[in-house]
Structure 1
Amino acid sequence: MLSSTYSQALVACSLLVAIFASYTALDMAGRVATAQGREQHWWRIGGACAMGLGIWSMHFVGMLAFSLPIPLGYDPLITVMSLVIAIIASAYALSLVGEASLPWRRLVAGAFLMGLAIASMHYTGMAAMRMSPAIQYDPGLLLLSIVIAIAASGAALWIAFQLRQYSTRVRRLRAGAALVMGVAIVGMHYTGMAAASFPIGSVCRAARDGVNTGWLAVVILIVTLAVLAIALIISVLDRRLESRTAVLAHSLAEANEELTYLALHDGLTKLPNRMLLQDRLKQAIHSASRGNTRFALMFMDLDGFKAVNDAYGHQTGDRLLVDVARRIAESVRGEDTVARVGGDEFVLVAKIGAPEDAASIAEKLTTAIEVPFQLANLELRVSTSIGIAIYPGDGASERELLANADAAMYHAKSTGRNCYCFFEPSMNADVHAQMQIIQDLRLAMERRELVLHYQPKFDAPAGPIIGAEALIRWNHPTRGLVPPAQFVPFAEKSGLIVPIGEWVLDEACRQMREWYDAGHVDWTIAVNLSPLQFAHTGLIETVRNALARHALKPSSLTLEITESTAMANVEVSLAILRQLQEMGVNISIDDFGTGYSSLLYLKRLPATELKIDRGFVRDLSQETEDAAIVSAIVALGQKLNLKIVAEGVETTEQQAMLTELGCDTLQGFLLGRPMPPTQFLESVEARASADCE
């Protein structure tokens, strides 16, 4: 037999290629296992090519390390066939480890088929030398090489399946596994080579027209290492991109989840908001209609919350709302829905068997809320009025149920508060009447049905006239002249008060300009500001524009705000009032004595006058407590350098007492009723004529 030798350098290179190829194979297995859809398909093709080329290259470099004392060469076609076998075997391996599970039966069958494929690649590569006579193989070593190929394949498949999920620990284990797999593949190859014998006189028929081996080893090594390196680099970069994408996707998912939560829940109490309530109501209606069951919708509004909010500020009011929400949630079952739908309005949707169950829940809620709330050093008391609508009897849709429960709640408020009322059809008449008023009020702006009447203001005790207060009236086409008490609350509720208030301000300034032009340059005009209008961001600009439009001095305008409005949010009120003061506009604190003032803040308000509420004037006499209160208010105002205005003067006794107590200005029916501008001037002229006589 011909004696054979090996190039130690090429043998070492074949081992390194085997280890590198094994690591690449493990990495490709991980990419195939974690990829999805078409991406997985392309990773399987690319991985099979890289992995197959690596295994085949190790085999071919090992053959190039082998030499005989005769010229050697390799048939190109047969050599390519061995490469194709390696790629097919790699593709099969990657498809196995890409499955969700790898049972032992499939592992054994896969190891057997892949081992035979690798052995076929090896011996096909040996056949590429086209030896004559043919290569003789030792049966024992040939069988051993096949067994080694099958065992190595089984181990490789199992390791690749176990290590396909990427992590820092898995990366280290892959390096160790690649070393073991590389040694096993090299062991199979050189066992197969050891099984081959070449008789003396053998000739390599591929040496003459086959591939020249002189430069082939270097080319194969360079190409293989480049392909494997590129495959690994692409895999690493793709994994990093995938990792960053996963982090970004997770962050986006969390952000979307948070946004969804915020969109469906109240930011203060964390209860469902109106949008989520409507969805829950639809589900409750669907479930109840399908199962022929009932549920109750309870509309709750807190009694006395506005007083707390005005007295202690919004921060305390918000904390109170949070505690109220907690008590409501603790008083009902977990499957019931509690929602906050407005400032101090809550809604409960609860499954019931009979109306009596709804009454029991309502009683439990009223009892829970009327217990005093402890906030820091404050003990606060509120109650709740509850309106109850039952499905299916009191409405077929969520909108109808809410409207009916709301109507029942208003009825509960009107009957004494801190109680509950079941909806009755007659209650809807009030709701529809309110809605009609709001609708008519919208049209009143367009149709110019709103007018201003003016009530004169006098220097105490009886004149002269120093100006007027503008008071709105609604000249309704069917109801006649409607006083403000009958429509202003609805304008406040609907938000229409803001455009109405802007119109009032502009019209009062226009009328004041006419009076100026008529010679009454020492008069002032007073205009009331609603809480919504006072808090509106465009107030300062509206006042400035109205004065400029009618060429009025700012000092000719007095803006009246209630004591409660000024104290609702003191810092914000101070900022707005200071801007008005800097403009030159006079500020009057209206209804003084009825709100919840803090004298510490009151002295900081840039006001020019205090207006005593008519409630103190009505029962004014020497022996009443009202006289003491008015006297205290006058003394306080004088200390703060404020003018004192008393409204609601209807008797000569009140006129005399208010003058004696020190009021600067009087206003009331005794001195002059609210009247249209033409009648106002006639009244002034008539009074002037009477004084002359």
Structure 2
Amino acid sequence: MLSVASRNPARTECLIVDSCGVDTSAIVNRLQQQQCQVQQCSFDQATERLEQTDTHLIFLHTCFTDTNALSELHYLRQQYPHIPVILFDQNLTPERIDESMLWRASDYISTNTLTDEVLQRLLRYNLKICQYYSEIERLTQLDPLTGMMNRQQFYQEFSERLRALRKGGSGKHFALINVDLDGFRRFNTINGYSAGDVVVKEMSQRLSELAPGLISRQGNDEFILLLETPDDVSLAQHVTQLCIQLLHRLTEPYNYHELEIILPCSIGVALAPEHSCEADTLIHQATQARIKAKETSSCSYIIFDPQSSFEQDPHHNIEPELINAIRRNEFELFYQPRVDILSGKIIGAEGLIRWQHPQRGLIFPDMFIPTAERTGLIVPIGYWVIQQAGEDMQRLLASGLTIKSLSINLSFRQFQDSYLCRTIQRLIEKYAIDTSVLEFELTESALFNNELHVREGIEELHKLGINFSLDDFGTGYSSFSLLQKLPIGSLKIDRSFVSGVNNNPDDREIVKALIRLAYSLNKEIIAEGVETLQQLNFLASFGCHQAQGYLYSKPVPFAEFKDLLQNGYQLTAENAANQ
């Protein structure tokens, strides 16, 4: 007899869950013949068993006459979305199978008619699904170039350590170290992305040698390190020694072909709990310290000082002007087309806010949105965006133009406003907004902050007919469980993956896996940051539905977007490269 499990070096761990007291010996024997390791328990014991063992497959028997039968299945799928749940019984009627599959059973078997061939097929299929989810989850926690954890995974683990610190039980204190190379962007532009990748990989290896704790690549050549020391050890002394070692090691020449490249580095440090116990604040402080080090002297480090001149940075003085900007209506909504890859037609757009400052000119959102988030001004700004989108949708309809979707960003901070749903409903009614066109973009990090609170708001808005998409998909914490809980209709592949599909095998595999996942969940898949024909062709070849990026158009004012809808766009990679 050919064993399915024997094809893999590790034994397949199966858990049989049954609270009805049926005879399970037949299915246990058949699974053991397939070299599976089998455990049995009641439903009440299932959670404890699943926490204690690395279970691959769950075989569930429910008393169908019991009103809790489907709730048991629902609970297991909610709590353990990556473990296939296979329903089994002596006889399964079509009605019972249909209802169980609606409640997301992974598969089913009737033990009365079970054969070795059927069981082998079931094991092969469900183990493949299990491996598939595990691999995608692993990939989305890592930076594809260096193999280090990505910024989202670092944020999650760093936040957990700080949570213990706030409770007073960690016995440790931390130094958050932000480091990047001076002149890397120019080097990258002159020598190409392949040369830049070689330097970044070498940089990550040097950092790993010197700092054994948490390390994360934040993007390009920027890395964050976490240094932990016991309470009774001088943190300042340790971090000073480490910074000096980093400066010496990172300024040694990098080799690319026959070139020897020397790139100085800048380092910024923030301390916990001395400076803060909040992850966002510490990351910001370390970043500001690094920027100050770069401005002060090449190849240097600075430890954040709350009394220093950091607060003189324009970012910190922007709050009063931001309040005036709302009053004076200085904001403008730009639109970036979203294109159906198959037909090449513009079928939607993403609305992106810009600030038309009377002295500084056009200001991009990364310069003022963090302040708006921190101060709560994002709430009235968000309502302005929805109002402006409604007005622009009316203007399009008046011109005889239609789009399938208009997406705008909705932040975690906006969900904290108790009037969010009522205010949005009022704006929908006032501007006669077609809610089937309106789409709110969410980020995984926003959902992670307060999942239950945000989920309730999303479900209430969904009742109004509003669609939702998940932005930066593939970079976050718990994508798959969130997808099963929330009414999300489309997924947006993060531009960091799209940019590497031409020359990075890991990025190609991640993008292909995300497209397959979207298809399996029956969701639209949209690629962000498409800048070249090669990227577009790759996405098209694997069935990506939609794309947006500079290849089609940069974000443009409403009048220019309207012109693109009427007259079309010119597909030129050269324009994208020159933006």
Q: Give the alignment's TM-score, normalised by structure 2.
A: 0.50
Match of 1:632 among 499, 504, 513: 513
For the Cα contact (< 8 Å) 1:388–1:421, is it kept in 2? no
SS of residue paired to 1:672: coil
- In the alignment, what sits opposite 1:421? 303
The 3-state SS of whatever aligns with 1:603 is helix
- Tell me, in whole angstroms, the C-alpha distance in 1 between the residues paired with 2:565 and 2:436: 22
Contact kept in structure 1, 2:412 and 2:454, CA below 8 Å: no
Q: CA deviation at 1:505?
A: 1.2
Identify the match of residue 536 of structure 2 among 642, 655, 671: 655
Q: Structure 1 vs Structure 2: percent identity of aligned residues?
A: 33
Which amino acid is 1:445 matched to? I
Structure 1 residue 582: Cα displacement: 1.7
Conserved in 2, the CA contact under 8 Å of 1:362 and 1:420? no
Q: Give unmatched runs, 5+ long, in structure 1.
A: 1-303, 330-359, 368-382, 390-404
How big is the shift at 1:621? Answer: 2.0
Aligned-partner residue type, residue 321 of structure 1: R
- Relative to structure 1, the CA distance from residue 321 to residue 307 in structure 2 (aligned partners, 3 Å threshold; closer, same or farther) is farther
Matched residue, 1:610: 491
The 5-angstrom pairing of residues 500-649 of structure 1 reads 500-621=381-502, 624-649=505-530
Q: Secondary structure of the residue that 1:555 maps to in structure 2?
A: coil
Pick the structure with more helix per residue: 1
Structure 1 residues 305, 669: closer, same or farther in 2, change over 3 A?
A: closer
* Structure 1 residues 407 and 622: CA distance shift in structure 2, 3 A: closer
> What pairs with 1:71-150 in structure 2 (closer than 5 Å)?
none
Query: 1:271-670, aligned counterparts within 5 Å?
Result: 307=152, 311=156, 318-323=163-168, 327=172, 361-363=234-236, 385-386=270-271, 411-412=288-289, 414=291, 421=303, 423=305, 427-428=308-309, 430-461=311-342, 463-621=344-502, 624-670=505-551
Instruction: Give, as a single letter, the amino acid of the residue that structure 2 aligns with 1:322.
Output: K
1:255 is aligned to none
Q: Equivalents in 2 of 1:385, 1:406: separation in Å?
A: 8
Q: What are the superposed Cα offsets for residues 104-129 of structure 1, whole Å, 9 maximum, x if unpaired?
A: xxxxxxxxxxxxxxxxxxxxxxxxxx
Query: Which residue type is aligned with residue 385 of structure 1?
Result: A
Letter in 2 for 1:489: P
CA distance in 1 between counterparts of 2:372 and 2:557 reads 22
- 542, 549, 553: which is aligned to 1:672? 553
Counterpart CA distance in 2 for 1:605 and 1:315 is 24
Which deviations, in whole Å up to 9, do the C-alpha atoms of 1:500-543 show, x marking residues without a partner? 11111111111112112222344321101122113332221222
Partner SS state of residue 485, structure 2: coil
Please say which of residues 631-640 and 560-569 is displaced more in the overlay: 560-569
Q: What is the TM-score of this pair, normalised by structure 1?
A: 0.42
Name the SS of the counterpart of 2:433 in structure 1: coil
Q: Residue 686 of structure 1 corresponds to which residue in structure 2?
A: 567
Aligned residues of 2:438 and 2:467 also touching (Cα < 8 A): yes
Cα distance in 2, alignment partners of residues 472 and 619 from structure 1: 27
Q: Residues of 2 paired with 1:322 and 1:688: CA distance?
A: 56
Amino acid at match of 1:660: S
Find the counterpart in structure 2 of residue 21 from structure 1: none
What displacement does 1:601 show? 3.4
Deviation of the 1:616 alpha carbon: 0.7
SS in 2 for 1:503: helix
1:43-94: CA deviation from partner (whole Å, max 9, x where unpaired): xxxxxxxxxxxxxxxxxxxxxxxxxxxxxxxxxxxxxxxxxxxxxxxxxxxx
Flag the structure with higher strand content. Answer: 2
Distance change in 2, residues 1:600/1:544 (3 Å)? same
Name which one, 1 or 2, has greater alpha-carbon Rg: 1
**Deviation of 1:623 (Å):** 5.8
Distance 1:635 1:531 in 2: 28
Cα deviation 1:554-599 (Å, max 9, x = unaligned): 1110000112212333222322222222221100000011111252
- 1:98-155 Cα offsets, whole Å, 9 max, x none, are xxxxxxxxxxxxxxxxxxxxxxxxxxxxxxxxxxxxxxxxxxxxxxxxxxxxxxxxxx
The one-character-per-residue Cα deviations of 1:407-436 (angstroms, maximum 9, x if unpaired) are: 9866435469xx8627498x5165352332
Question: What displacement does 1:384 show?
Answer: 6.9
> CA 1:460 to 1:306, structure 2 compared with 1: closer, same or farther past 3 Å?
closer
Query: Once the two structures are superposed, what CA deviation does each residue of 1:260-300 show, in whole Å capped at 9, x if it has no partner?
Result: xxxxxxxxxxxxxxxxxxxxxxxxxxxxxxxxxxxxxxxxx
Q: Tell me if the contact between 2:378 and 2:414 (Cα under 8 Å) persists in the aligned partners.
A: yes
RMSD over aligned CA atoms reads: 4.0
Secondary structure of 1:594's counterpart equals: coil
Partner Cα separation in structure 1 for residue 364 and residue 290 of structure 2: 23
CA contact (8 A) 1:387 1:410 kept: no
1-side partners of 2:476 and 2:284: how far apart?
Answer: 29
DSSP-derived class of the 2:530 partner:
coil
- Looking at structure 1, the residues matched to 330 and 424 of structure 2 have their Cα atoms a distance apart, in angstroms, of 23
Question: Helix, strand or coil for the counterpart of 1:573?
Answer: helix
Q: Cα distance 1:411–1:550, how it changes in 2: closer, same or farther (>3 A)?
A: closer
Is the 2:270–2:304 Cα contact (8 Å) retained in structure 1? no
The amino acid that maps onto 2:270 is S
**Structure 1 residues 565 and 476, CA gap change in structure 2 (3 angstroms):** same
Q: Distance in 1 between matches of 2:564 and 2:343?
A: 14
